[in-house]
Amino acid sequence: MISVFSVPVMIVGIIVFGLFKRINVYDSFVAGAKTGAENMLQIVAPLVGLMVGIYMFRSSGAMQLIEKILKPITDFVGMPSEVLPLALLRPVSGSGSMAIVNDIFKNFGPDSLVGKIASVMMGSTETTFYTVAVYFGAVGIKNLRHTLKSALIADAAGMILAVWAVRIFGL
């Protein structure tokens, strides 16, 4: 019952609070919507560029080439080859990596070693390029300095630790 009434109660509460504080709620809403629309327009260009880049990367066959190059490293850390596409795409695309996880679940099952590693990896890494493009683009930051390098190192650590955590603790 709480979930049914929570949104209407919140809306009425905001209106009552605005009336109590003598705030023109409608004008405040319109001003907020205008600011949101302006921010959305600032985000669109970096987002379109990122989506085009993802499509080009996946269509070019670069993913398969990188998989072959990184195979010795993934074998060393114990990462199954079935999870490597997820590790490569996760920093770039949330929806693309979710599609890979879905494919892993269909082929191996969510309770398999590969499925568990994919699940932990999804929860312990971030869509770094998307996040940087959207948030830095929204506020107009062009010099990333150490942000991208640090975030990618954190993603790599999350991926390696996801593999080890599942292998060691049998999560």
User: Residue 78: helix, strand or coil by DSSP?
Assistant: coil
Task: Quote the pLDDT of residue 9.
Answer: 93
Q: How confident is the model at residue 142 (pLDDT cuts 50, 70, 90)?
A: confident
User: In what helix (H) or strand (E) does residue 4 lie, and over which residues does it extend?
Assistant: helix 2-20
Q: How confident is the model at residue 111 (pLDDT cuts 50, 70, 90)?
A: very high
Task: Quote the pLDDT of residue 81.
Answer: 85
Task: Quote the pLDDT of residue 52.
Answer: 80
Task: Quote the pLDDT of residue 132.
Answer: 86
Q: How confident is the model at residue 13 (pLDDT cuts 50, 70, 90)?
A: very high
Task: Quote the pLDDT of residue 159.
Answer: 93
Measured CA to CA, the distance from residue 83 to residue 96 in angstroms comes to 13
Alpha carbon of residue 90 to chain centroid: 7
| Tokens (6 digits) for 82 | 């079935």
CA atoms within 13 Å, Cβ hemisphere of 6: 3
Q: What is the dihedral of CA 40, 44, 47, 49, to 10 degrees?
A: -170
Name the residue among 142, 49, 50 with its Cα closest to residue 89. Answer: 50
- Higher-confidence residue of 79 and 140: namely 79
Cα torsion 58, 114, 103, 95: sign: negative
Measured CA to CA, the distance from residue 141 to residue 124 in angstroms comes to 26
User: In what helix (H) or strand (E) does residue 124 lie, and over which residues does it extend?
Assistant: helix 113-124
Q: What is the pLDDT of residues 46-104, one digit of tens each?
A: 777 777 877 787 788 887 888 889 888 888 999 998 898 899 889 988 877 888 898 89
Measured CA to CA, the distance from residue 63 to residue 57 in angstroms comes to 7
Q: What is the pLDDT of residues 154-164, one digit of tens each?
A: 999 999 999 99
Task: Quote the pLDDT of residue 154.
Answer: 94
